[in-house]
């Protein structure tokens, strides 16, 4: 039996008719844009020239100066990345951009999550030191690496940190910390992904080298940093950072270049293996098809494979690595499916599913997949979830958790509250508003579970846990058209914080058939007098002839023809 949907409309009370006239778009789309903060036509301009300047980005001047010194003195530079898609794209960006600037001695190192954990740890510094670098640049990590930076200093290695995670109370004593979220910053784009921070740093390095007439003296072509926007777009979308206007510019420009064929072989190979077309590539393709294949390397094996793919100099070698990444992603999906089932059983049998927060753990779980499981359980139970797995040989007796939050709850702040009120209960933590990571002792799990639930209770209202669906309203049947689906595409990119339009309405279910190995439904539905094709992923057969659906307008490009399709998100009784 399908459950009723709890739907709230947004944008109803926001003025949007003037915007509809100014943009010459249907009123429903103007309402969508207004609900996402767009007030006039100029705010839909995503030209590269409108990017926020780097001047106020904390640490970027000091970091760039140290890199310029290293370049001029021909020092050995080592990039230390993170093991997710953001870290991989940022690592590839810095390495390849520095090589394009004439740096011969630059390499990368990415920690294996199963051996060393996250960040610039003392253990990673020890491995890095064997390569004898003068300078380490961290990407997508480092702002919490107090001990690691100290060890590097003692070994005579300078460290420039580029990161976007929220800083702890104590900062590392690095040469520079480039991070848009440092306290007191007035930088206008705090939601940059790690790859976005790295991109800004490379832009300032190039500008300083240009001022010194470095490229002229070395007889080098000055690199065009737009050539790296494919990496910026992929890393930004895959890391699910909010798409404020600055991030939308970066993603839009990256997508535009990719659609025109301006992308590196590794990015092209990942798009091919994901069966996506360059000409119609979208942010959804990057987030749901390309990014997961890149992420699979860090989740199950070693992200070095992903970085190698992105750095590949020809399409043939990139394709072989993309195939390997695709196989890892298939294995990841199989592991995830099994863990999701086990997590649901744990919650239904051993926990109060109505608790304000859920913490699930199983000794057999794969630590590289717990973040996805936490996200799936969050979606199903409409409350913050932390999924834990054993840390393994890195630290016996500890478990590693990955947290996913709900709108209205800053998950890192909740963890900070627990760590402050119960010293020693949380060994390490860090992250963002919607996602975080932590480690605790296994014997402390029950105490932590209660403390975390209390912290969440103090921060949310009961309605936050209901699973309210925010809809952009009901569309009249005449608005269910391929033209409007294309128009929605044109006003992208859509993503976190600028989410793709979601509508709702009552429909008559005309027919349904199971596809995709029994997991999905292909539907024909009737709205007023109009018949429309629809698809519902991970949906069981529907028992009612009259249904309420939430859905997105989608252009279905199957077999090179374009038709309208409703992408069904939720189904309930009318």
Q: Tell me, what's the pLDDT at 362?
A: 96
With CA atoms as reference, report the closest residue to 202 among 289, 110, 94. 94
Q: Tell me, what's the pLDDT at 466?
A: 87
**Is 66 within 8 Å of 158 (Cβ atoms)?**
yes
> Which residues, other chains included, contact 55 with Cβ-Cβ below 8 Å and sequence gap of 6+?
none
Q: Tell me, what's the pLDDT at 1?
A: 58
Identify the segments of the chain with pLDDT beneath 50: none
Q: Tell me, what's the pLDDT at 392?
A: 73
**Is 536 within 8 Å of 503 (Cβ atoms)?**
no
pLDDT in tens, 284-328: 999 999 999 999 999 998 899 999 999 999 999 999 999 999 999
Q: Tell me, what's the pLDDT at 322?
A: 98
Q: Tell me, what's the pLDDT at 12?
A: 86
With CA atoms as reference, report the closest residue to 548 among 521, 572, 512. 572
Q: Which domains, and CATH codes, for the chain?
A: 7-11+469-573 (2.40.50.460), 55-253 (3.90.1640.30), 351-465 (3.10.310.30)
Q: Tell me, what's the pLDDT at 314?
A: 97
Prediction pTM value: 0.94
Q: How far is CA 175 from CA 196, 438, 503, in A?
A: 20, 27, 50
Tokens of 493: 């990119």
CA–CA separation, 532 and 412 (whole Å): 43
Q: Tell me, what's the pLDDT at 519?
A: 86
**Is 333 within 8 Å of 313 (Cβ atoms)?**
no
Q: Tell me, what's the pLDDT at 548?
A: 96
């Amino acid at each position: 039996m399908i459950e009723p949907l709890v739907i709230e409309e947004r944008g109803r009370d926001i003025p949007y008719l003037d915007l509809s006239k100014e943009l010459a778009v249907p009123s429903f789309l103007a309402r969508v844009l207004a609900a996402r903060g767009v007030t006039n036509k100029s705010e839909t301009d995503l030209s590269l020239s409108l990017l926020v300047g780097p001047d106020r980005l904390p640490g970027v001047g000091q970091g760039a100066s140290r890199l310029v010194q290293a370049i001029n003195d021909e020092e050995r530079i080592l990039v230390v990345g993170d093991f997710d898609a953001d870290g991989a794209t940022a690592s590839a960006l810095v390495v390849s951009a520095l090589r394009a600037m004439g740096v011969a001695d630059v390499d990368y190192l990415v920690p294996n999550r199963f051996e060393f954990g996250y960040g610039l740890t003392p253990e990673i510094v020890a491995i890095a030191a064997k390569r004898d670098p003068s300078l380490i640049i961290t990407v997508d990590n480092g702002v919490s690496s107090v001990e690691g930076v100290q060890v590097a200093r003692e070994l005579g290695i300078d460290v420039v940190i580029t990161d976007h995670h929220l800083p702890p109370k104590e900062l590392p004593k690095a040469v520079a910390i480039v991070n848009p979220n440092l306290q007191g910053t007035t930088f206008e784009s705090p939601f940059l992904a790690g790859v976005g921070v790295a991109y800004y740093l490379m832009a300032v390095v190039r500008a300083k080298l240009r001022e010194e007439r470095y490229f002229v003296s070395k007889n080098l072509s000055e690199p065009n940093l737009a050539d790296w926007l494919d990496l910026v777009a992929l890393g930004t979308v895959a890391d699910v950072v909010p798409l404020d206007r600055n991030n939308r510019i970066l993603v839009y420009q990256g997508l535009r270049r990719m659609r025109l064929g301006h992308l590196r072989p590794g990015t092209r190979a990942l798009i091919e293996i994901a069966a996506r077309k360059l000409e119609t590539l979208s942010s959804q393709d990057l987030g749901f098809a390309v990014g997961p294949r890149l992420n699979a390397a860090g989740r199950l094996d070693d992200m070095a494979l992903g970085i190698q793919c992105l750095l590949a100099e020809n399409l043939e070698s990139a394709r072989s690595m993309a195939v390997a990444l695709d196989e890892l992603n298939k294995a990841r999906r199989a592991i995830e499916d099994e863990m999701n089932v086990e997590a649901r059983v744990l919650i239904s049998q051993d926990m109060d599913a109505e608790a304000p927060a859920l913490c699930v753990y199983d000794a057999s779980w794969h630590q590289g997949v717990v973040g996805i499981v936490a996200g799936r359980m969050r979606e199903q139970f409409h409350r913050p979830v932390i999924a834990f797995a054993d840390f393994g040989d890195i630290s016996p007796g500890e478990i590693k958790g990955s947290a996913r939050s709900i709108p209205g709850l800053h998950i890192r702040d909740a963890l900070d509250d627990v760590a402050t009120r119960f010293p020693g209960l949380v060994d390490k933590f860090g992250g963002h508003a919607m996602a975080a990571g932590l480690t605790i002792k296994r014997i402390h799990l029950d105490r932590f579970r209660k403390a975390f639930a209390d912290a969440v209770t103090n921060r949310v209202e009961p309605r936050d846990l209901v699973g309210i669906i925010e809809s952009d309203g009901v569309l009249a049947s005449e608005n269910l058209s391929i033209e409007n689906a294309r128009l929605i595409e044109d006003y992208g990119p859509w993503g976190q914080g600028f989410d793709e339009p979601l509508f709702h309405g009552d429909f008559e279910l005309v027919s349904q058939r199971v596809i995709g190995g029994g997991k999905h439904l292909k539907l024909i539905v009737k709205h007023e007098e109009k018949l429309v094709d629809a698809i519902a992923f991970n949906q069981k057969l529907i028992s009612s002839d009259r249904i309420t659906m939430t859905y997105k307008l989608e252009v279905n490009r199957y077999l090179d023809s374009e038709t309208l399709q409703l992408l069904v998100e939720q189904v309930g009784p009318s």
